[in-house]
Amino acid sequence: MTSLIDAPPSDADALLPTKKKAAGGGLAQYILVRFLLIFPTILILVTLVFFLMRITGDPITAAMGGRLPPEQLQERIHTAGYDRPLLLQYFEYLGQLVTGNFGTTLSDNRKVTEMLTTYGSATLELAINAIIVALVVGIPLGMIAAHRRDHLPDAVLRILAILFYATPVFFAGMLLKLVFSVWLGWLPVAGRAGTRTELSLTALEAPTGIYWLDALRSGNMAALSDVMSHAVLPALALGLLTAGVFLRLVRTNVIGTLGKDYIEAGRSRGVSEYRLVTKHAYKPALIPIITVMGLQIAVLLGGAVLTETTFEWKGLGFQLANYLTARDFVAVQGIVVLLAVIVAVTNFIVDIIAALIDPRVRY
Amino acid sequence: MTAETTLEPVANPRASFFRRLPVVSHFNKSVGLQRFMLVVGLVLTGIFLLTALAAPLLAPYGFAQLSDADGNFPTQQAPGGKHLLGTTVGGYDVLSRVIWGTQTALLVIIVAVILSIFAGVILGLVSGYIGGWLDRILVVVADAIYAFPSLLVAIVMAIVISGGQSSLLGGILAAAISITVVFIPQYFRVIRAETIRLKAEPFVESAKVVGASNIRIMTRHIYRNATRTLPLIFTLNASESILTLAGLGFLGFGIEPSSAAEWGFDLNKALADTTSGIWWTGLFPGLAIVWTVLGLTLVGESINDLNDPRLRGRKRISRKAPAASAGPGTETELSNP
C-alpha cells in the first residue's frame, strides 16, 4: 500500500489511466510498474552498501592489513584497482554486477557467485523449513486465540507469542540444543547432515542443494531421516520466532473480521462456529497477513544469519559471520547484494499476490 | 481525514495531569488480562531499570574482574558458593556480567532511541512539509532500508563506524548508531505521513496567512501534532534495539568484554560451552535479554492494544446488566470512566 503512495511521479502517471479502464487491463500495468520498481530498490541498497563499506578503506587493507609488508599491500591494492577514484570503481562494480560478476573473495579466493550458489541453497532450505513451522504453528493458534478471545486460551497464546518474539533466535537455538541434543541426546548438535549423507547427496547428479529434496529424489531413506533430524532444531528456533508474529497477526485480523455483519448473518443461518472461523472470517483476514509475510522474509533472513551461526548450518549467514570475522568485505558485499535482490523480489511477489486476491489494492 | 482523526479523545481533558500521562491513562483504561500484561511489563521494565541504576551496588564483582584477594577466579565453575551463577570460560563471574549488562543495554537504548527520534522526526517533518524531489528521494531510500533485514543494516553500519570491536564509549556509540540507522525509516514514515496530513489542515493554512515562517509552522504547529504516536514506537523500538544489540554482539560485533558487559557477546562465547553441557554461561545472559525484551514489549503491546478500540478489552457489563440491582452502579461507572 505505502509503496503505491510513495511511488515516483512516473508511476502515478502510469497508474492514472488504469482507474478509468476495466480492472483486467489494470492488473498487467500494475504488475509492470511494480516490477520496474524492483530495480531502483536494489540499486539504492547496492549503492549504499558500496559507499558505506568503502568509507572505511579498501578491502585489501581491511583483510590483509598487518599481515603483509606495506609495499606488497600497495602492490596488491594497485593490481586490484582499489587506488583509483571511487566513482570509477563504483560504476565498474555496477557494470560487473549486471553481467553477474560479483568478484573474488579475498580470504579463500573463491568466485563470489559460486560461493553464493553453494551456500544459498542451504539458507533457502532453512528458510523454507522455518516458514513451514511458522505457518503450521502460527495460523491455527492465531485462529484459536481469536475465537476464544479474552478467555484463558487467548491469554496463554498471546503471552506465548510475545515470549517467542522476546527470545533471540540464538538463545532459543542454544536452549533447544542443550535440551534435545546434549541432555536428551535425541537430535544432532549441529550441521546440516552427517558426513556420509553429505557425501552421498553431493554425489548426485544435478543436486538442488536442498538436502531433503535431494534425499527424497534419490529415494535414500536413511539419508532422508538423517537430514530431517538435523533440520528439526534450526527450523524450530527460527520458525517459532516467525510463528509468534503470525499468531498475533492472524488473531488481530480474525477478530476484526469476526465482528463483521456477514459473520453474524452466517451464524444466524446456522453455519458452525468452526466453519465461521476457519472459512468465513479467516479468508478476508489473509490479505494483511500476506503483506506482512513479505516483510517477514527480511526478518527471517536476518534471523537465518543468527540461526546458522548457532547451529553451524553452512549457509549464507554462517559464511557471512565467517567473512565478517575475516574482514573479507568483497564477500560480505556479495552476500548483502544477493539478500537485497531476494528481499526486493519477494516484496514484488507479495504485492502481486495481494493484488490478485484483493482488486482494491491496485487503486 | 478531518478534525475527528486529529482530535482523538485519548484521555479525559478534565482529568488531572497525572491521570493523563501516557502509561497512567492506559492503566486506567485497561481491564482484566490487558491490565495484567501492562502491570507485568511495567514490573519487569522497572526491575531492569533499577538493576541498571544500582549495578555498582548489586554486582558482587566488576564486569572485567578476573581475580580477587583469594587469587584468580576458577574458569567454567558451576553455580554455587562464591560465584552464585558460576564463571565463564574466560574466568568472569556470570552474575556480575549479567548485572553490569543492564547498564550497557540501557545506555544503548537511550542513545539509539534519542538519535533516531531526532533524525527521524527532523527528516520526516522536512520531507513531508517541503515535498518535491527531496521527499521522493528520501522516501525511496527509507523504503529500501526499511525492507532490508535490519540486522544486516546494523552489521554494515558497525563495520563502517568501528570496523568491529572497540572501547566502551565507542562500542556503545557504534551499536547505538547502527541501530539508529535501522530505526530512522520507521520514525520517518510515521512523521512524514502525519505531516502531509496536517499540512492540509486549516490551522496550518491560517498560520501561513498570518505570516508564520515555515520553520515556525514545522516546529510549532505540525511537530506538536505529529508526534502523538511516538511513545508507542518508542517502547517497541527499545525492545528491538536490545535484540539488535544482542545480535551484533553474538556475531562478534559487540563491545569487548574488558570494556563493558554485553549479553550477546557473552552468549557468543557460551555457544561452545553448550555442546559440553555447560549451561550456566549461556542461560543467564539469555534470560536477561528475554526479561528485558519481554518487559518492554508487554508495555508497548498493551499501549498499542489500548489505543486501538477494536482490540481494547471491554468492561464486562453485559452479564450484570439484566440484574436490576447492578444496573445503577454500572451505569455511573460507564458515564464516568
pLDDT above 80 (res A275) = yes
Query: Cβ contact (<8 Å) for B159 and A332?
Result: yes
CA–CA gap between residue B151 and residue A308 (Å, rounded): 14
pLDDT above 60 (res B2) = no
Q: Dihedrals φ, ψ of B146, to 5°?
A: -65, -35
| Nearest-10 Cα torsion for B155, A125, A180, A314 | -50
In angstroms, what is the C-alpha Rg of chain B? Answer: 24
The pLDDT > 70 percentage for chain A reads 81
Residues 223-262 of chain B whose Cβ lies under 8 A from any Cβ of chain A? 239, 243, 246-247, 250-253
Q: Are B109 and B242 in contact (CB under 8 A)?
A: yes
- The 3-state secondary structure of chain B reads CCHHHHCCCCCCCCCCHHHHCHHHHHHHHCCHHHHHHHHHHHHHHHHHHHHHHCHHHHCCCCCCCCEECCEECCCCCCCECCECCCECCCCCEHHHHHHHHHHHHHHHHHHHHHHHHHHHHHHHHHHHHHCHHHHHHHHHHHHHHHHCCHHHHHHHHHHHHHCCCCCHHHHHHHHHHHHHHHHHHHHHHHHHHHHHHHHCCHHHHHHHHHCCCHHHHHHHHHHHHHCCCHHHHHHHHHHHHHHHHHHHHHCCCCCCCCCCCCHHHHHHHHHHHHHCCCCHHHHHHHHHHHHHHHHHHHHHHHHHHHHCCCCCCCCCCCCCCCCCCCHHHHHHHHHCC
**Nearest residue of A to residue B152, measured between CA atoms:** A302
Which of A40, A150, A332 shows the shortest C-beta gap to B33? Answer: A150
pLDDT for res B280: 77
Q: Which ipTM score applies to this complex?
A: 0.76
Q: Closest Cα of chain B to A95: distance in Å?
A: 21
CA–CA gap between residue A248 and residue A258 (Å, rounded): 15
The size of the A-B interface in CB pairs under 8 A is 164
pLDDT above 60 (res A56) = yes
Interface membership of B31 toward A (CB under 8 Å): no
CA–CA gap between residue A207 and residue A221 (Å, rounded): 17
CA–CA gap between residue A330 and residue B84 (Å, rounded): 45
pLDDT above 80 (res B295) = yes
- Per-residue pLDDT, averaged over B233-262, amounts to 78
Query: Cβ contact (<8 Å) for A171 and B141?
Result: no
Q: Dihedrals φ, ψ of B68, to 5°?
A: -130, -160
Which of A182, A309, A327 shows the shortest C-beta gap to B275? Answer: A182
CA–CA gap between residue A72 and residue A90 (Å, rounded): 24
pLDDT above 50 (res A307) = yes
**Nearest residue of A to residue B137, measured between CA atoms:** A8
Query: Cβ contact (<8 Å) for A53 and B270?
Result: no
CA–CA gap between residue B149 and residue B95 (Å, rounded): 33
pLDDT above 70 (res A362) = no
Q: Which of A277-281, B241-245, B319-323: highest mean pLDDT? A: B241-245
The strand pairing partners of A104, in sequence order, are A111
| Nearest-10 Cα torsion for B166, B172, B178, B183 | 180
Q: Closest Cα of chain B to A206: distance in Å?
A: 31
- What single letter denotes the amino acid at residue B46? G
Interface membership of B37 toward A (CB under 8 Å): yes
pLDDT for res A18: 40
Interface test with B, best of A5, A6, A11, A250 (most B CBs within 10 A): A6
pLDDT for res B167: 61
Question: What contacts A232, CB < 8 A, 6 or more positions away?
Answer: A187
Residues 30-89 of chain A whose Cβ lies under 8 A from any Cβ of chain B? 40-41, 44-45, 48-49, 52-53, 55-56, 62
Residue identified by cell 502525519 is B194
Q: Dihedrals φ, ψ of B279, to 5°?
A: -100, -25
The strand pairing partners of B71, in sequence order, are B68
| Nearest-10 Cα torsion for B283, B163, B90, B277 | 40
Contacts of A316 in chain B (CB under 8 A): none
Q: Closest Cα of chain B to A152: distance in Å?
A: 9
Packed helices B150-162 and B168-199: angle between N→C axes, nearest 10 degrees = 130
**Nearest residue of A to residue B155, measured between CA atoms:** A324
Which of B157, B164, B274 shows the shortest C-beta gap to A182? Answer: B274
Give B313's pLDDT tier (boundaries 50, 70, 90). low
pLDDT above 80 (res A209) = no
- Per-residue pLDDT, averaged over A1-20, amounts to 39
Residues 249-268 of chain A whose Cβ lies under 8 A from any Cβ of chain B? 252, 255-256, 259
Contacts of A183 in chain B (CB under 8 A): 277
CA–CA gap between residue B138 and residue B131 (Å, rounded): 10
The residue among B68, B67, B93, B90 whose CA lies nearest residue B79 is B93
Query: Cβ contact (<8 Å) for B37 and A299?
Result: no
- Per-residue pLDDT, averaged over A193-207, amounts to 66
Residue identified by cell 529434496 is A213
Contacts of B139 in chain A (CB under 8 A): 6
Question: What contacts B90, CB < 8 A, 6 or more positions away?
Answer: B66, B75, B257, B269
Interface membership of A1 toward B (CB under 8 Å): no
pLDDT above 80 (res B231) = no
Residue identified by cell 479523545 is B9
Q: Closest Cα of chain A to B297: distance in Å?
A: 7
Upper half-sphere CA count for residue A197 (Cβ side, 13 Å) = 23
State the cell numbers at B333: 461507572
Upper half-sphere CA count for residue A266 (Cβ side, 13 Å) = 18
Q: Are A257 and A284 in contact (CB under 8 A)?
A: yes
Query: Cβ contact (<8 Å) for B311 and A182?
Result: no
pLDDT for res A55: 74
Q: Closest Cα of chain A to B57: distance in Å?
A: 28
Packed helices B150-162 and A23-55: angle between N→C axes, nearest 10 degrees = 20
The strand pairing partners of B87, in sequence order, are B93
Q: For B249-290, write each residue's pLDDT tens digit.
A: 888 776 776 777 788 888 887 777 777 777 777 788 888 888
State the cell numbers at B206: 491560517
pLDDT for res A25: 58
Q: Are B296 and B242 in contact (CB under 8 A)?
A: yes
Interface test with A, best of B31, B39, B141, B151 (most A CBs within 10 A): B151
Least confident range from A4-13, B89-98, B303-312: namely: A4-13
The per-residue b/e assignment along B87-122, b for 16 or more CB within 10 angstroms, e otherwise, is: bbebebbbbbbbbbbbbbbbbbbebbbebbbebbbb
pLDDT for res A57: 67
Average pLDDT of chain A, as a whole number: 76
Q: Dihedrals φ, ψ of B87, to 5°?
A: -125, 160
Which of A159, A259, A299 shows the shortest C-beta gap to B149? Answer: A299
Which of A171, A303, A306 shows the shortest C-beta gap to B286? Answer: A171
pLDDT for res B55: 77
pLDDT above 60 (res B12) = no
What pTM was computed for the model?
Answer: 0.78
Q: How far is CA B17 from the centre of its chain?
A: 24
**Nearest residue of A to residue B315, measured between CA atoms:** A150
CA–CA gap between residue B337 and residue B11 (Å, rounded): 10
